């Protein structure tokens, strides 16, 4: 099966050139002129890599990158292209870009970069704990604060989870207590976690997205988490 790549650029001629070159190298290429159009393609196709311009007609390539990282984690490669000095490489990589290329560039150079990233991705995925989609509720509460914050877990692994939440009154690297709630079940999976990543509402997402690293759990909660992951892997647990 050919690997699927999405090119996002508002210049139709450039999109067509990239599609033709990618297809000549055996990829199945898709094109989108805007972030919203790209989201529609991603929702319908099993895209492995996105090649996107930073400047978009309906938003910003970095905001689109945030959206993609929130729905797919690091599993989907994302190459940013820019013809301007309006983005620093460190900023792009901090947001989760796989590569940053400067326009103009030869399409063959992009294909070479893409193939290198795909090889590295195949290696890293063998080492990365798998994540599973869910919509369990989670309560977050710092020991020094009275208010609880409730969010929805978008995906979870043995090392952490991604939460969608209306408002987030926390800072990066701040530690908090968490309690994952199960429907029709008095038990709760709980422990402490550290906020490692935040993305804010944009045109592409309406809520805050927060990535937490699990730093402490009781043995009972660890057993519950492993059981939950096995059930999710086997598709035995309903999406709540």
For position 213, which CATH number holds? 2.40.10.220
Q: What is the pTM of this model?
A: 0.58
Last residue of a domain, one of 68, 97, 127: 127
CA pair distance 199, 180, nearest whole angstrom? 21
Residues 94 and 14 in one domain: yes
Selection from 141, 143, 134 nearest residue 225 by Cα: 134
Last residue of a domain, one of 95, 127, 159: 127
Q: What is the pLDDT of residues 140-162, one digit of tens each?
A: 887 556 578 888 888 888 888 88
Q: Which domain holds residue 175?
A: 132-233
pLDDT score recorded for residue 100: 86
Residue 132: pLDDT above 70? no
Residues 79 and 102 in one domain: yes
CA pair distance 21, 179, nearest whole angstrom? 49
Residues 76 and 166 in one domain: no
143 compared with 55, residue with greater pLDDT: 55
pLDDT score recorded for residue 238: 39
173 compared with 184, residue with greater pLDDT: 173
Residues 71 and 108 in one domain: yes
Q: Characterize the bridge pairing of strands 4-8 and 28-32.
A: parallel
Residues 115 and 170 in one domain: no
Query: How much of the chain, in percent, has pLDDT values that exceed 70?
Result: 83
Residue 238 lies in a domain: no
CA pair distance 98, 117, nearest whole angstrom? 7
Residue 177 lies in a domain: yes
- List the single range of 22-31, 38-47, 61-70 with lowest mean pLDDT: 61-70
Residues 36 and 106 in one domain: yes
In the chain, how many domains are there?
2
Residues 196 and 104 in one domain: no
Residues 46 and 161 in one domain: no
Residue 219 lies in a domain: yes
Q: Characterize the bridge pairing of strands 49-53 and 4-8.
A: parallel
**Residue 105: which pLDDT band, with cuts at 50, 70 and 90?**
confident
Residue 70: pLDDT above 60? yes
Residue 141 lies in a domain: yes
Residues 139 and 192 in one domain: yes
Residues 9 and 121 in one domain: yes
Bridge partner residues of 180 (DSSP):
138, 189
Last residue of a domain, one of 111, 127, 143: 127
Residue 239 lies in a domain: no
């Amino acid at each position: 099966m050919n690997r699927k790549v999405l090119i996002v650029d508002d210049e139709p001629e450039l999109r067509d050139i990239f599609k033709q070159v990618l297809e000549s190298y055996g990829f199945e290429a898709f094109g989108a002129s805007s972030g919203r159009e790209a989201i529609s393609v991603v929702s319908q196709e099993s895209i492995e890599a996105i090649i996107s311009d930073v400047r978009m007609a309906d938003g910003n390539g970095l905001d689109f990158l945030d959206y993609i990282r929130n729905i797919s984690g690091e599993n989907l490669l994302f190459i940013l292209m820019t013809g301007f000095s309006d983005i620093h490489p460190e900023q792009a990589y901090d947001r989760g870009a796989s590569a940053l290329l400067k326009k103009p560039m030869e399409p063959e150079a992009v294909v070479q970069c893409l193939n290198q990233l795909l090889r590295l991705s195949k290696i890293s995925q063998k080492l990365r704990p798998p994540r599973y989609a869910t919509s369990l509720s989670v309560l977050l509460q710092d020991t020094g604060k009275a208010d609880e914050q409730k969010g929805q877990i978008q995906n979870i692994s043995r090392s952490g989870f991604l939460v969608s939440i209306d408002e987030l009154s926390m800072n990066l690297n701040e530690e908090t207590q968490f309690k994952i709630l199960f429907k029709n079940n008095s038990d709760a999976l709980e422990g402490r976690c550290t906020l490692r990543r935040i993305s804010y509402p944009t045109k592409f997402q309406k809520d805050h997205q927060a990535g937490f690293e699990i730093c402490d759990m009781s043995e009972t909660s660890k057993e519950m988490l492993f059981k939950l992951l096995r059930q999710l892997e086997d598709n035995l647990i309903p999406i709540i």
